[in-house]
Amino acid sequence: MSAGPAVIAAAAARLRAAGCVFADDEARLLAAEASTATDLAAMVDRRAAGLPLEHVVGWAEFCGLRIAVSPGVFVPRRRSELLVREATAVATGRRRRPGRGMQRPVRPVIVDLCCGSGAIGVAVVTAHGGADLHAADIDPAAVACARKNVSAVGGHVYEGDLFGPLPAELRGRVDVLAVNAPYVPTAEIALMPAEARLYEPATALDGGSDGVAIHRRVAADARSWLAPRGRLLIETSARQAELTAAAIRDSGLAATVISDDDLGATVVAGSPREHAQRAG
């Protein structure tokens, strides 16, 4: 709808009173997304009640893409751009040693495990320009949302626990296993901002007592799914990186910690030991 300045100012005032820091920007966005004045009023109400902006408008901006995000589904975070960047680099073979055959997969197999909305896999496939994408999540709401995003880039989405629902023929063929699983220690969920604590499900946040319980389960099974030169990439926090790396090492893979201070992001990469040095 084309809302006038007075309507936008009123929406911004309501949002500001509710504690929204970027009230003017959000009011403009909501006005642009609403189809009628009634629609705008309902959106402002939901946002003022604390619903994440992305859930109100139904999408999140991630890696320059518009990713559909339904209520109850984890909102992709900007820090996950590091995971996308690393996964894309592996997919495109940029990290392979030059002049040694360049065994770059023509159409790499990418698995986005614990995919939520599917944002990670979709961003990698979009950046890489074509890949065989498979995404899985245990939460039916996330799976339904991921289907919207992932099918738009020709990928497949499965529902179930970690590797359980993946097609068996992917075993030993995965070039990139990208994982942003829950990694918040259980006791710290109570300390998270209300938008996450109240509107994202515990299954999307809770990583067990030290936060890396799911990382351990992923790492334990990853090797049998990776291609000989495949790479496991797990998003974690700087504080938990050594625990995640230890889980990867315990599974028999070599582990490397990668961080990006600007994004405040940490990823641990796992590679078959015989290819770890060459993979860089």
Binding site for ligand SAM (CB under 6 A): 74, 76, 80, 114-117, 119-120, 137-139, 142, 161-162, 180-182, 203-204, 214
Q: How far is the CB of 52 from ligand SAM (least distance, A)?
A: 13
d(CA 79, CA 85): 11
Length of the chain: 280
Give the nearest residue (CB) to ligand SAM.
Answer: 116
Q: How far is the CB of 230 from ligand SAM (least distance, A)?
A: 18
- Comparing CB distances to ligand SAM, the nearer of 40 and 122 is 122
d(CA 194, CA 150): 28
- Burial 223-245, CB ≥16 within 10 A → b, else e: bebbbebbbbbbbbbeebbebbb
Q: How far is the CB of 229 from ligand SAM (least distance, A)?
A: 23
Q: How far is the CB of 201 from ligand SAM (least distance, A)?
A: 7
Phi/psi for 130 (5° steps) reads 125, 125
Residue ranges in 173-238 assigned as alpha helix (H): 194-199, 202-205, 213-225
Q: How far is the CB of 76 from ligand SAM (least distance, A)?
A: 4
- Comparing CB distances to ligand SAM, the nearer of 63 and 227 is 63
Contact indicator for 136, 157 with CB cutoff of 8 Å: yes
